Amino acid sequence: MLPVRWLQERGPLALVAGPSGYGLPLIPAAQGTEEHLDLMTLVRPDERGQAHGVAGFSAVVRALCASALPVVFLPGVLHLPTVPVHRKINRIDLGTPDKLCVAALALALRPSPAEGEDSFCVVELGTTFTACLVVRGGCVVDGVGGTCGPVGWGSGGAWDGEAAYLLSPLAKSDLFSGGASGLDDDLRRALLSESLLKTVAGLQAVTPFGDIVLSGRLLEGEPELATLVTAELQRLGRIVRLGGLPGAWVKQAAQGAALLADGLAGGRHEPLVTSLRLREASGSVLDWLRYLGADAVRATFRGRGSCAPP
């Protein structure tokens, strides 16, 4: 497979931060199982092998598991010990690993804060989902993302349970629909900017912060919307546009992943890994579900063998 061959041609490599979906607690690809893959994709048994947007990801993960590359799968925000347990109850997506990588990049590029100014919020405006992560004292302490967060460009954000009930059985593809892009200009601006303002204000009420760091490809693809969002969020604090590493041309999540891989391999960014407490990540994204039927859902993800192709 091309991604594996591309990495092999640039070896030897000390460590690779692999594509991690909803996240795993630093599981090496060599130890990857079908259960791990299922937890990274979160596809029901009836949709496995056909769910929207998952087949390509799964193929890459399987190829990485079968290779001799030193790949590790990164945790999501839910796996981190720095997020209080009560914020995890009945939640899965508090920020996926790629959003955590954006927060890592923001933390690495941030100037040394003045006393009392060590908290900030990262707002990632993706082409499908929107996520907001709160960083305090070098740790991620709160977050919302995906179908738990504000309205996104492609996704409707947090679901109304009654709507989910009426539309059920939902397919994986339904989670990628209902976003602001399907509306007329005035309505999409109002919906996305107000949804984001409410979310960031709510996070700020719990964990005060002064800076709001904006990132994501939507900022470049929809400049008028970026201007509007910036104007709205300025009511809550100072707006900072996330930059990048010198000479980097890949997206910000990939840059952050490179920093974390370097730190996990004992490189000069090890203090970043230590600050985020990545090595203490644990559990699965299904651990904190307390709804009726949650145990049955967890059971469908257990005990599956190696995810490497035979």
Domains contained in the chain, number: 2
Tell me the average pLDDT of the chain.
Answer: 92
Q: Kindly report the CATH number assigned to the domain that includes residue 168.
A: 3.30.420.40
Distance, in Å, from the CA atom of 141 to the CA atom of 77, rounded to the nearest integer, reads 8
Question: Are the C-beta atoms of 152 and 126 separated by less than 8 Å?
Answer: yes
- Flag whether pLDDT at 308 surpasses 80: no
Residue 282's CB: how many other CB atoms inside 10 A? 12
Which residues form the domain of 37? 1-75+288-310
Residues 212 and 304 in one domain: no
Residues 132 and 231 in one domain: yes
Residues 44 and 85 in one domain: no
Give the lowest-confidence range in 156-170, 211-225, 259-273.
211-225
Stated pTM of the model: 0.94
Give the pLDDT confidence score for residue 50 in this predicted structure.
73
Report pLDDT digits (tens) over 68-113.
Answer: 999 999 999 999 999 999 999 999 999 999 999 999 999 999 986 5
Residue showing tokens 């349970």: 161
- Burial class from Cβ neighbours inside 10 Å (0-12, 13-18, 19+) for residue 77 reads buried
Instruction: Give the single-character DSSP code of 306.
Output: B
Nearest to 110 by CA among 243, 276, 278, 309: 243
3-state secondary structure of 23: coil
Question: Are the C-beta atoms of 69 and 17 separated by less than 8 Å?
Answer: no
Nearest to 175 by CA among 193, 185, 183, 163: 163
Report pLDDT digits (tens) over 160-206.
Answer: 999 999 999 999 999 999 999 989 999 999 999 999 999 999 999 99
Give the pLDDT confidence score for residue 1 in this predicted structure.
74
Residues 122 and 188 in one domain: yes
Q: Phi then psi for 33, rounded to 5 degrees? A: -120, 170
